[in-house]
Amino acid sequence: MAAIVPRISRATPSLSSLARATRRVVSGCAIALRAGVAPLKTSSASSSQPRYLSSQSSPPSQCDVAQASPSSAKGILPEFDLNGKVIIISGGAQGLGVVQAEALLEAGATVHVLDRQSEPPVGSIYQKVAQRARDELGTSIFYHQVDVRTGVDNLNSIVEEIAAKHGRIDGLIAAAGIQQETPALEYTASDADRMLGVNVTGVLMTAQAVARQMTRLGSTGSLVLIASMSGSVANRGLICPVYNASKAAVIQLGRNLAMEWGIKGIRVNTISPGYIVTEMVQKLFNEFPERETEWPKQNMLNALSKPEDYRGAAVFLLSDASRFMTGADLRIDGGHAAW
């Protein structure tokens, strides 16, 4: 795992205010959090009208974690090395996706981001990661604007072009997803279709586009689908029936794709994160302050996670370190679903 120790300061930023929402502190550094949040509908008992929160928050200040861990080549396991590998990340403009992109770049991969947003501007976390890849890590990250649900033809063309450019595609993280908090009795059919369309159909179309190119090239690879602990349990006090159903579907989709494609040497696994403290979550804490104290109590570590807590899992699942692992769900939730 030493291969993913930051060689120098990371581009992912910190939000000191959000750090208070976690009970843990990364050794010697501010807690780094994401730049934006998913489109979120909220609906409390007092209001039946869902409300969208912004997904375009301004990036927080930079976090320097250089002193967090000394860089050392000693003890690096070669299985974690991603040098020369080409990996696609959907939803990599911000949030968990961009933090995982940085981890893969640090491990040596070339990364292609697919996201429905236009390319993030100068000063964004994404651009800081891109600059770091260029200037410090000796690798590259490329950006492609595409909607994985409504732009499937475009999605396939882009993935084909990536395969042609490099002559290979080695992996995928399908992190593009949306969230909506609405009671089941108020859920509309169009909202349910939209949620399942992005979180399930969009993930399938992305995995399919990548596996299609791997099959055409006759290559092996590793696909990682971002699910959620919410795919295994109902979240106490968080009313997201269709989101949770979509994440259960992602877990089951992962098993089935693993079964179909294992014979080709294409592995498929899911990651199920617990609560990740992001700006979106911080806004929820502002609106529902009791969640800030209640949610950590719901897991065994009495803490909430941050995007950086999933860096190691991304490199592990995309590298040869996990070469005998497929059809599995890696639940990383502080024990939330293990009571």
Ligand X SMILES: NC(=O)c1ccc[n+]([C@@H]2O[C@H](COP(=O)([O-])OP(=O)(O)OC[C@H]3O[C@@H](n4cnc5c(N)ncnc54)[C@H](O)[C@@H]3O)[C@@H](O)[C@H]2O)c1
**Residue 117 binds ligand X, judged by CB under 6 A:** yes
Can you name the residues that pair with 207 across neighbouring β-strands? none
- Which run of H or E residues covers position 295? helix 289-297
Among residues 269 and 278, whose Cβ is nearest to ligand X?
278
Among residues 3 and 94, whose Cβ is nearest to ligand X?
94
The one catalytic residue in 126, 143, 187, 243 is 243
Among residues 175, 233, 240, 249, the one that binds ligand X under rule CB under 6 A = 175
**Residue 244 binds ligand X, judged by CB under 6 A:** no
Among residues 53 and 133, whose Cβ is nearest to ligand X?
53
Known catalytic membership, residue 128: no
Known catalytic membership, residue 247: yes
Among residues 11, 15, 29, 37, the one that binds ligand X under rule CB under 6 A = 37
C-alpha triplet 279, 282, 283: angle, nearest 5°: 90
Q: Count other Cβ atoms within 10 Å, centred on residue 16.
A: 12
Among residues 10, 34, 128, 311, the one that binds ligand X under rule CB under 6 A = 34
Among residues 115, 308, 309, 329, the one that binds ligand X under rule CB under 6 A = 115
Q: How far is the CB of 295 from ligand X (least distance, A)?
A: 10
**Residue 139 binds ligand X, judged by CB under 6 A:** no
CA distance 283 to 338: 27
Number of residues near ligand X (by CB under 6 A): 32
Pick out residues in 206-235 that bind ligand X (CB under 6 A).
Answer: 226, 228
**Residue 178 binds ligand X, judged by CB under 6 A:** yes
Q: For residue 125, give the 3-state DSSP assignment.
A: helix
DSSP state of 117: S
**Residue 22 binds ligand X, judged by CB under 6 A:** no
Residue whose pair of structure tokens reads 């592995």 in the numeric block: 267
CA distance 337 to 339: 6
Among residues 147 and 160, whose Cβ is nearest to ligand X?
147
Pick out residues in 54-113 that bind ligand X (CB under 6 A).
Answer: 55, 90-91, 93-97
- Asked if 117 and 145 touch (Cβ cutoff 8 Å), the reply is yes
- Listing DSSP states for 36-87 in one string gives ----EEE--TT--S-EEEPS-PPP------TTTS----TT--GGG--TT-EE
CA distance 94 to 198: 17
CA distance 219 to 264: 8
Q: For residue 28, give the 3-state DSSP assignment.
A: coil
The one catalytic residue in 41, 85, 128, 247 is 247
Binding site for ligand X (CB under 6 A): 34, 36-38, 55, 90-91, 93-97, 115-117, 147-149, 175-179, 198, 202, 226, 228, 273, 275-276, 278, 281
Q: Give catalytic residues, as residue numbers.
A: 243, 247
